[in-house]
Amino acid sequence: MNRGLTRHRLAMSFAALLLAGCSVGPDYRWPDFDLPHAWRAAPASEPASARPADRVGERWWTLYADPVLDRLIDEALQHNADIAVAAARVVEARALASIADAALYPSVYGQFSGNRTKSSAIGPFPLQGFPLTQNDYRATLDASYEIDFWGKYRRTSEAARADLLVAESAGETVRLSLAAQVAQQYFALLAADAQVQVTKRTLGTRGETLALFEKRVQAGTLAEYDLHQAQAEESAARSQLASLRQAQDRLESALAVQLGRSPRAVMESGVERGSPPPVTDLVVPAGLPSDLLLRRPDLRQAEAELIAANARIGAARAEYFPSVGLTAYLGSESVSFARLFSGPAGIFQFAATLTQPLWNAGRLRAGTQVSEARRDQALASYRKAVASAFKDVRDTLAAQNAARQVLAAEDARAAALTQALGQARLRFDTGIASWLDVLDVERNLLAAELARIDAERARKAALADLFKALGGGWAETASGG
């Protein structure tokens, strides 16, 4: 009696285990990273005017205080082609996740068939006592279901949902990168505008000098050598202006494409410009936990790829175990369509099949090895992505500091050369210096002014790079922690 009761309990326990199911394969565990506890304090070289960046929201570009830039970025986020592609991929991944989830449930479908056949009266098997012409009508509800004992479909669903997170994170990465690219392209266009204006002003000055020298040569008070030098410098400025205008046009058309504008708009319309105020440096708060960087969308994407690859190992290992399939149908069959749904016409069937792989030339073992290798690749890529993210932050913080120092140096250089040019012209007018000395200072001043404009652009671009490296703003996360 006790043995029978024990066997019964064991059988019931085994049946409950089968019905509850289990998932083979490794469960996902977050990799252990050697992360710094917090951002290091700002270096002593940071200016006193630098602002803490602990209250920056997702619309980080509003820190530039340029309404025109705000409108351009909003336009790009709505109409850019890469944004549309990323959104479509999210829809695709969501649909694929729904397909994977559907495998966890039975499939039910209706079927109706009707046929009319006539048998030969003189064939090899003539029907005796039956009409040669017969009708057959059949209507059924068919159902099929594979019990997910080993978690094959649950692991597949887990992988599909991780793929959905991959697509969503990739879309966020596109949005973040696009906002930074539009801001940088916009400031590059403004810098090109400023460089064109500086070069035009220089060209005007050299044109005036050339006209004056031509009169002095005619009057015999100036050698033709100085006139030829003035002509060469005026031509050089004209050539430089043409190159800068070409670069300006390219920047404007590239920005129009980034904004998602139509081909006609790219060809015919221009891009609006604003007047952004000077930017100030931002300092990452020293007490901000460094693991907040892991919320960067590209890092979330890399982790989701790891989760998906890990789940597919379980799906591959589940192929080793037997599969239990259930099929059934319920319906009616009759030779008369009028009596098809009558009581005597009822039919049903219920069947179960057990399939166990026995030999497949190593296909299952190789499939498992493929899944494990892809998991190892995803893990290595995730670790590399995390290390690269911290490198990006370190590099952008250093770039922001360097851009500030370069801009200050170029400002001082341009101011000094402006004074030197006035003195050189005075020395030339009094006969103390040659015109070549004036040209040297003038060339250096033009180069300094162009470099100062580029340094100002680099400083604004460094701010965009900083927020791109940090994954955007983090006000809510920081305050919640």
Rounded to 10 degrees, the C-alpha dihedral 160/162/167/168 comes to 130
The pLDDT assigned to 127 comes to 67
The tokens describing 418, both together, are 């402006």
Per-residue pLDDT of 231-250, as tens digits, reads 898 999 999 999 999 999 99
Q: Is the pTM of this model over 0.75?
A: yes
Report the C-alpha gap between 124 and 117 in whole angstroms.
Answer: 17
Rounded average pLDDT over 195-223: 89
The pLDDT assigned to 345 comes to 87
Instruction: Give the type of residue at 67.
Output: P
The pLDDT assigned to 473 comes to 64
Which of 159-163, 302-306, 400-404, 413-417 shows the lowest per-residue confidence on average (mean pLDDT)?
Answer: 400-404
User: Sorting pLDDT into bands at 50, 70 and 90, what band is 229?
Assistant: confident
The pLDDT assigned to 278 comes to 81
Which of 226-230, 252-256, 398-402, 476-480 shows the lowest per-residue confidence on average (mean pLDDT)?
Answer: 476-480
User: Sorting pLDDT into bands at 50, 70 and 90, what band is 88?
Assistant: very high
> Residue 1 pLDDT more than 50?
no
> Residue 167 pLDDT more than 90?
yes
Rounded average pLDDT over 164-169: 96
Q: Give the whole-number percent of the chain exceeding pLDDT 90.
A: 55
The tokens describing 324, both together, are 């239990």
The pLDDT assigned to 46 comes to 54
> Residue 67 pLDDT more than 80?
yes
- 8 A C-beta contact, residue 286 and residue 40: yes
The tokens describing 240, both together, are 């430089």
The tokens describing 345, both together, are 């016409």
Report the C-alpha gap between 97 and 54 in whole angstroms.
Answer: 37
Per-residue pLDDT of 184-197, as tens digits, reads 999 999 999 999 99
Average pLDDT score over the chain: 86
Query: CA quadruple 46, 48, 54, 56: dihedral positive or negative?
Result: negative
> Residue 308 pLDDT more than 70?
yes
The pLDDT assigned to 356 comes to 93
User: Sorting pLDDT into bands at 50, 70 and 90, what band is 15?
Assistant: very low
The domain at 30-116+132-480 falls in which architecture? Up-down Bundle (1.20)
Q: In terms of C-beta distances under 8 Å and separation of at least 24 residues, what long-range contacts does 297-301 make, across chains too?
A: 297/169, 297/170, 297/172, 297/173, 297/176, 297/471, 298/169, 298/173, 298/385, 298/389, 299/382, 299/385, 299/386, 299/389, 299/471, 300/165, 300/169, 300/172, 301/165, 301/166, 301/169, 301/170, 301/173
> Residue 478 pLDDT more than 60?
no
The pLDDT assigned to 16 comes to 40
Q: Are strands 323-334 and 107-118 parallel, antiparallel or unpaired?
A: unpaired
User: Sorting pLDDT into bands at 50, 70 and 90, what band is 41?
Assistant: very low
The tokens describing 182, both together, are 């539009």
The pLDDT assigned to 310 comes to 96
Which of 74-78, 319-323, 353-357, 399-403 shows the lowest per-residue confidence on average (mean pLDDT)?
Answer: 399-403
The pLDDT assigned to 56 comes to 56
Rounded average pLDDT over 441-458: 92
Per-residue pLDDT of 260-274, as tens digits, reads 999 998 888 889 998
Paired with 331 in beta bridges are 140, 347
The pLDDT assigned to 282 comes to 66
